[in-house]
Amino acid sequence: MTLCPLSGVKRTDLVFRKTPFCVPPIVILTRAGAWHEYRWRQGRMTQSIRIKIPKRLTKSWPWVIDIPMRWWLTFNAHSKMCAILFLLITFTPLFAQQVADPNFKPQIDRPAYAEGKGPVVLIDEAHHNFHTADGRYKPFADLLSRDGYRVIGSKAEFTRESLKDARILVIANALSEKNLKRPVLPTFSAFTPEEIAAVRTWVEDGGSLLLIADHLPWPGAAAELASAFGFLFADGFAFTKGGSGIIQFRTEDKSLQDHPIVRGRDSRESVNAVMTFAGQAFRVRRGVDAQPLLIFDDSALLLMPTEAWRFSKQTPRMSASGMFQGATLQHGSGRVAVFGEAAMFTAQLSKKKQPMGMNHPDAKYNVQFLLNVMHWLSGQL
How far does CA 89 lie from the centroid of its chain?
A: 18
pLDDT at 365: 97
Separation CA 217–CA 112 (nearest Å): 35
pLDDT at 256: 98
DSSP string, 13-78: EEE----TT----EEEE-STT-EEEEEEEETTEEEEEEEEPPGGGGTT-S---B---GGGGGTT-H
pLDDT at 242: 77
Q: What is the pLDDT of residues 173-194, one digit of tens each?
A: 999 999 998 899 999 999 999 9
pLDDT at 95: 45
pLDDT at 180: 92
Separation CA 85–CA 92 (nearest Å): 10
Separation CA 143–CA 7 (nearest Å): 47
**Segments of the chain with pLDDT less than 70:** 1-97
pTM above 0.85, yes or no: no
Of 156, 257, 217, 231, nearest to 342 by C-alpha is: 217
CATH of domain 110-377: 3.40.50.880
How far does CA 244 lie from the centroid of its chain?
A: 13
Which alpha helices (DSSP H) does the chain contain, by range? 78-97, 138-146, 160-163, 193-204, 218-227, 260-263, 366-377
What backbone torsions phi and psi does residue 44 show, to the nearest 5 degrees?
Answer: -95, 0
Of 59, 83, 63, 53, nearest to 71 by C-alpha is: 83
- Domain spans of the chain? 2-97, 110-377
The CA-CA-CA angle for residues 182, 240, 304, to 5°, reads 35
Q: What is the pLDDT of residues 338-376, one digit of tens each?
A: 999 999 999 999 878 889 999 999 999 999 999 999 999
